[in-house]
A and B are shown apart, each in its own frame.
Chain A
Amino acid sequence: MSAMISSPHQHDSNSVQRIMATVLLALIPGITALVWLLGNGVIINLGIAIVSALLSEWVFLRFRGRNPVSAVSDFSAVLTAVLLALALPPLMPAWQVALGTIFAIVVGKQLFGGIGNNPFNPAMLGYALLLISFPASMSQWIQPQSAASNLDIAQAWQLAVDGVMPAAMAWDSMTGATPLSEVREGLLQHNMLSELHPDGSWSALMSSGWAWVALAYLAGGAFLILKGIMSWRIPLSLLASVTVVSGLLWLIDSNQFASPLFHLLSGAVMLGAFFIATDPVSASTTPKGQLIFGALIGLFIVIIRTWGGYPDAVAFSVLLLNMAAPTIDYYTQPRVFGGER
């Protein structure tokens, strides 16, 4: 007897590839903003990450005896690579970028059984590996709108891949603190926020240019929600939670704790809210569970940023909640039709 064909016998035209492609499309404003801010180093990172991701996924799928074409062509590896690359400092040594990406794809995704089976967000797993193994390169962010960000592609390539500095430049003059790390260092040295940012944190952010990047991610995310690709639950609960928790702290002491707007528009909160925490495979899957998932990530982001050991906390918060997602799902099963209220 031939293989059984079960109903339904018609389907709509959605596909995994289409979803991933739309998400990549929504990242374009963010990528553009970041390139404008930090230069061609971003493009180098993206290139290296994408190539390493595709190659490692292809090789590993062959190794597992699966058909590599269908799995690679669904753009999920590309998406992981792009998200990781956007989180990394530009002009980072290329081999480190490649290592992180390969770890993300192989350990974060393929070893668990491929797409759909990974309990952790692969991009964040790669980021965590790099942060813990190479703390120096991971904290070496170049100054926006400076000589470093104005390197052309060839110079950026040389620096990242070969480690060759362009003439008359040195790391010290190229790098600078991000707004987050600046605030963090300052607070640790018992400076007040009012001293660090005499014109207020908001204008510090806007003048550094980082806020534009965050707003670009926000625009992309809103596009995805309106298109129905993504549910509004995780982004909204995450941002709401960040606002509420940091707002409470800020109200208690606005000199010790940064304002909600600062938290929302700095670091990877926007990227995380719309593109990282919403990775469907590793996130919570029930409607109520998604609200709890997003809210707790937001809470942890603020806590780790304020009292933890790293300036930015999105990666670790997401990984923590990835661990909790199955439990959250178990306890938030929706009421079945006709079930007891």
Chain B
Amino acid sequence: MANVSIHDFHGGLILDDHKALSTQHPIAPVYLPKTLVVPLQQHIGQIAEPCVKVGDHVLKGQLIAKASEYVSANIHAPSSGTVTSIDEQPIAHPSGLNALCISIECDGKDTWTNLPEAIGDWETTEPQLLRDRLRQSGIVGLGGAVFPTAVKTNTQNKPVDTLILNASECEPYITCDDMLMRTDPEKIMTGAKILQHIVGAKKILIGIEENKPQAIKALRNAINHTDIEIVVVPNKYPSGGEKQLIHLLTGIEVPSQGLPIDVGILCQNVGTCVAVADAILEGKPFIDRVVTLTGDALAKPQNVRALIGTSIHELIEHHSGFAKACQRTLMGGPMMGFSLPDIDRPIAKGSNCILSLHEVEPTQEPQPCIRCGECVKVCPALLLPQQLYWYAKSHNFDQAQDHHLFDCIECGCCAHVCPSKIPLVQYYRFAKTEIWASEREKQQSDLARRRHEFRDARLARLEAERKARLRKKKEVLESKPKATGDDPKKAAIEAAMKRVAAKKAAQAAEDKPS
């Protein structure tokens, strides 16, 4: 089957994958909690705008927030119930800040709303209509980037040669895609075919790591088309990075500031394929996903299907419970996930894994960088992490950008091998957010300057108009005496009267602008 050769990428690490911890049980069915807190920003792009009010009764799958711009996504009620509030709630975000959410008190009945019609004949349907359905269903990329799929699949007539399914799941501990592939391989294939039709790809490649033998077997059995091929890649982190996977399967390097579409490739996660199949074949909006609950603190680590908006705390308590005290909870994996200050936060569209760790590495004081170059050896983006570190630390953001700071995919390989235990990725994130903040400030200050200059111009214009008016009045008054009689006394009186009138006019004109 594998007549596609692998083109290895530079760097990367071979890590203990800890996958067996959470693959002992099948995917647990959906748990219906009492409350759902649905964040309005679960995607890249503009925040969705609520289209329900507090007190409204909503049905399962009903639209509760609309995509506000082109790059945005719809949000649907994960279960039926009453909207109790639309306000700021704690969400799962590295900052720990709150964000706008719609809170729903579930009525327990889980009643579905009227779903849009199934598009059974999708093979002959216009891609635009299919994209509209994806947009309507609020589907976003489930590999972690949560980019709206309707936007990503709008290739704007750029040719797509290959559709790549990202089944690699390279980060340790995470197994949600693995279990999904074992359970629902046919749906993945259908979803892939639908996507292939939408973007007009000539062939489909599925990139999967070799540490998932059961999933590989399940996918192989589900293939019934000749233009889908499964390519097994070595177990190296981060082979699931979009650019790295594309290089592995095709040898093509996506241009540094470009997108895969620029080289005729589109990459989608297998979870996204399932959501696409559901949306097209059943009209189902995106309201639940498979989440891996894992870590040595849990009593029963496993994969579960969870409704968007379910509290992590409730999810763990219901499915597993704690066996040991949890020292640190991560949303995501150990290499790229972020730590949560507490677990009373909701599952969002991009929540692929909750890692509850009992044993955590002791925090070590970072030592100075000795420029050993270990980081350069492992960077998959071929960067110079030690230079980026020096520049980020000294706030030299221009040099950092010259050294391709924004090509960093924040995979964490560099910090993993650093003998001085420097938190390198945090420095790069710091530099990136500072640069974005200063760009925003520059835009603000440019706007303020323009407004100020316009105001100065406006006031100057008003002043000039006032002066012009005065001048005109003076001219009018001065031109009148030539028309009157030649009686000198009358002329003197009239001249005096004109002077007074002119004075009054000037006084009146001065009072006006204020």
> Which residues of A line the B interface, CB within 8 A?
1-2, 4-12, 14-16, 18-19, 70, 74, 76, 114-117, 231, 280-281, 283, 285-287, 329, 333-340
Chain B's interface size range is: 35 or more
Q: Which 9 A-B pairs have the closest CB atoms?
A: A8-B412, A116-B368, A6-B426, A338-B256, A14-B419, A336-B404, A337-B382, A8-B335, A9-B334
B361 near A10: Cβ-Cβ < 8 Å: yes
Q: Which of B332, B360, B371, B376 contacts A281, CB < 8 Å?
A: B371
User: Which of B211-219, B265-273, B383-391, B486-494 interfaces with chain A?
Assistant: B383-391
Q: How far is the CA of A114 from the CA of B367 in the complex (A)?
A: 11
Q: Which of B15, B255, B328, B367 contacts A9, CB < 8 Å?
A: B328
Q: Which of B258, B360, B367, B415 contacts A70, CB < 8 Å?
A: B367
- Apart from A19-B370, A337-B382, what are 19 other A-B pairs with CB-CB below 8 Å? A5-B339, A6-B423, A7-B335, A7-B425, A11-B361, A12-B416, A15-B420, A16-B419, A114-B368, A116-B371, A116-B420, A283-B371, A335-B382, A336-B382, A337-B243, A337-B247, A337-B256, A338-B407, A340-B256
B28 to chain A, nearest CB (A): 25
Q: How far is the CA of A266 from the CA of B322 in the complex (A)?
A: 66
A280 near B371: Cβ-Cβ < 8 Å: yes
A74 near B367: Cβ-Cβ < 8 Å: yes
Q: A9-B361, A11-B421 are in contact. Are A285 and B339 (CB under 8 A)?
A: no
Q: Can you name the residue of chain B whose Cβ is closest to the Cβ of A3?
A: B363
B376 near A333: Cβ-Cβ < 8 Å: no
Name A's interface SS: loop
Kindly list chain A residues whose C-beta atoms are within 8 Å of the C-beta of B403: 333
Q: A11-B418, A12-B417, A115-B368 are in contact. Are A337 and B407 (CB under 8 A)?
A: yes
B94 to chain A, nearest CB (A): 8
Q: How far is the CA of A285 from the CA of B403 in the complex (A)?
A: 14
What are 7 A-to-B residue pairs whose CB atoms are below 8 Å?
A11-B417, A15-B420, A19-B372, A280-B373, A281-B370, A285-B371, A336-B407
Q: Can you name the residue of chain B whose Cβ is closest to the Cβ of A67?
A: B365
Kindly list chain A residues whose C-beta atoms are within 8 Å of the C-beta of B383: 336
A16 near B328: Cβ-Cβ < 8 Å: no
Kindly list chain B residues whose C-beta atoms are within 8 Å of the C-beta of A76: 370
Q: Can you name the residue of chain B whose Cβ is closest to the Cβ of A286?
A: B384
Q: How far is the CA of A335 from the CA of B10 in the complex (A)?
A: 12
A337 near B381: Cβ-Cβ < 8 Å: yes
Q: How far is the CA of A5 from the CA of B96 in the complex (A)?
A: 12
Kindly list chain B residues whose C-beta atoms are within 8 Å of the C-beta of A10: 15, 172, 334-335, 361, 416
A232 to chain B, nearest CB (A): 12
Q: How far is the CA of A160 from the CA of B283 in the complex (A)?
A: 90
